Amino acid sequence: MDGIKLWARNGEAVRQAIELGEIVHMETASEELTDEFLLFAIESGLLKKWAGSFPDPREKCEILPEVILASSVAARFAGMYSMRKTGYALRSARVLGALGYSVEMVEPGQGLSDRGTSQATLYSGDVIRKLLVKMEGQVAVQALGSPVKIATDGSADGAVVGSVQVRGRRSRRAVKQAVDESEAALRGRAVVHQLVDWYNSSVGPSLLRYAELGPGRRIHILDATRIAVDLATDTYECSGVVENDDGTFSRGYKLGTLRTLLDTAGLLTQVALSGIAVHDLKLCRPLLESRRVLRAGDLLIEDRGFLDGGMISYLKSERQVDVIVPLKAKMLAHTEAIQLAQLADAWAPHPSREEQQIAWVPALPKVWDECTVVLNACVIRFFNKKKKRLDYIVLATTDLALNARWIVGHYEERPEIEQDYEQMKSGGWLLQKLASTRYSEIAFYILTVVLSYSLYHLFANTQAGAKFAHKTRQAMALEQFCTQRTHIIVYAGNHFEIFETFTFLNWVLQRPTPVQEHVRAWLQAHLGTVEKRE
């Protein structure tokens, strides 16, 4: 390959060059679901920021982080979960042009690498894997600590977890060469720490800055979700096993996220990743202690899994961040709040549910030793049809200015994060489709899913992307499929232009006969080359 040709888009120059018979190359293409989102990331400067801060260990590289991230986002939008297929995802002439490349380079045997690729792909899928392997190789051995044997879940080969027998087999790496599994796990964790820190320090804050939410209060939702894998496969590096409420077991990982609300959506601005057995609060504690997103005056909405008096006190006293969290039924504070509400007997209609009532309880008695700050509460009363009696939910908050209606209104934002997880798992984003068992590759895949999902919401929250608001990825893909139009990219006169196929055909047929002959001659030569290749 002689080098990478850079083309500028200039429709009038291309038309004039065609008139003169100066066609260099033509290629067919179709608009991709990803195009508008990736062009937004490129033109806004977000992609450049993410690539510039990506922890790339390579001193010299042919495939830049900008291309790797762009193609990874394109793959997530396209529903590709295999890392080896990532190079196929970035096919759009518009996006490649915005990145400074042309469609010519995706022909078989070319690509961005100096060695080329054997298939019609921008670069080999091994590029990402080798990058992550190099990151693991550069982790200082002395920084790993003592080479203590690390079990992924405490089970041995052939052990029985619940009623499922763990398959005693080695990982793909171990088959090829001897692997110190404990050291490999430590190296994997070190790389994942770098990747997560990159997302939390660069990606999340840059998304938030672009959203321009202003200096006022921001509302965040903290939650965690499980990413399950095959229980019997213990080669998933750094995974864990946990017993479920019904007595069954699950293997996998846990993803913690901090969701920052926008006008019509939300951004996953901070993330944490670990084995599935790690407690939610332990996993997400670094996100609460970090000053990257949370700031004084903000409001944090949590579920019961994060209920911790010490952390609530720290957030209010040290960070001036208020919290809304439901109390557990077995807590004394929960009982006290209900009794005070019943004693006052000042129930009001629930703002959104006709069958429920609410009551405001100020200054809960100090019945919670770890919590050193004042808590107000909203008690929700409803008839439990299953138990056939009145039941209660108690929402506690450190924001003493909120009345009962505001407490309920804010907490009803929390199900939005459940919708996020549902969309990422089964809404076309394929969060749980883990094609690798290597921890660093798993983390890279998960983070690019989260990044792509947040990019989608950020763009949908802008005026230009408003048409995508409230649409799932699957709905957008179906809409595109039903209205898909093909295009032709023409390179001529050192420029390129993208034409709708029928529009270009009509334009050529209206040209003088010599121009049509030039186009026909090029097509005959090009089609002959394609037939030989096939």
Answer yes or no: is 3 within a domain.
no
* Same domain, residue pair 226 and 285: yes
Average pLDDT of the segment spanning 263-291: 93
DSSP 8-state secondary structure symbol assigned to residue 387 = T
* Same domain, residue pair 308 and 405: yes
Beta strands at 299-301 and 266-275: parallel, antiparallel or unpaired = unpaired
* Same domain, residue pair 451 and 405: no
* Same domain, residue pair 26 and 129: yes
Other Cβ atoms less than 10 A from the Cβ of 21: the count is 14
* Same domain, residue pair 243 and 333: no
DSSP 8-state secondary structure symbol assigned to residue 199 = I
pLDDT at 69 over 60: yes
pLDDT at 102 over 60: no
CA distances from 153 to 170, 183, 249, 433, 446 (A): 15, 16, 11, 20, 21
Q: How far apart, in whole angstroms, are the C-alpha atoms of residue 50 and residue 446? A: 16
175 Cβ neighbours under 8 A, 6+ residues apart: none
Answer yes or no: is 98 within a domain.
yes
* Same domain, residue pair 169 and 284: yes
CB 491 within 8 A of CB 26: yes
Answer yes or no: is 489 within a domain.
yes
* Same domain, residue pair 77 and 178: no
* Same domain, residue pair 512 and 445: no
* Same domain, residue pair 263 and 211: yes
Q: How far apart, in whole angstroms, are the C-alpha atoms of residue 285 and residue 247? A: 28
CB 496 within 8 A of CB 7: yes
- Go through the chain and tell me how many residues it has: 534
Quickly state the pLDDT bin for 485 (edges 50, 70, 90): low
pLDDT in tens, 446-472: 999 999 999 998 998 888 877 777 666
* Same domain, residue pair 160 and 76: no
Answer yes or no: is 145 within a domain.
no
pLDDT at 480 over 70: no
Answer yes or no: is 147 within a domain.
no
Residues 341-344: contacts with CB within 8 Å, 24+ apart?
341/379, 341/381
Q: Give pLDDT, residue 416.
A: 75
CA-based torsion, 407, 412, 416, 417: positive or negative: positive
Answer yes or no: is 343 within a domain.
yes
% residues pLDDT > 70 (the chain): 80
Average pLDDT in the chain: 82
24 Cβ neighbours under 8 A, 6+ residues apart: 491, 492, 493
Answer yes or no: is 140 within a domain.
no
Q: How far apart, in whole angstroms, are the C-alpha atoms of residue 235 and residue 238? A: 9
Q: Give pLDDT, residue 45.
A: 95
pLDDT in tens, 168-224: 555 555 555 556 678 888 999 999 999 999 999 999 999 999 988 778 899 999 999
- Considering its fold, how many domains does the chain have in total? 3
Q: How far apart, in whole angstroms, are the C-alpha atoms of residue 4 and residue 344? A: 76
Q: Give pLDDT, residue 463.
A: 84
Which domain does 186 fall in, by range?
153-294+434-461
User: What's the whole-model pTM score?
Assistant: 0.80
* Same domain, residue pair 173 and 235: yes
Helix ranges, 239-355 (H): 280-289, 309-317, 332-344
* Same domain, residue pair 335 and 365: yes
Ramachandran sector of residue 45 (left: φ over 0; alpha: ψ -120 to 50; beta: rest): left
Percent of the chain that is helix, strand, coil (3-state, to 5): 45, 20, 40
**φ, ψ for residue 25, nearest 5 deg:** -165, 150
Answer yes or no: is 221 within a domain.
yes
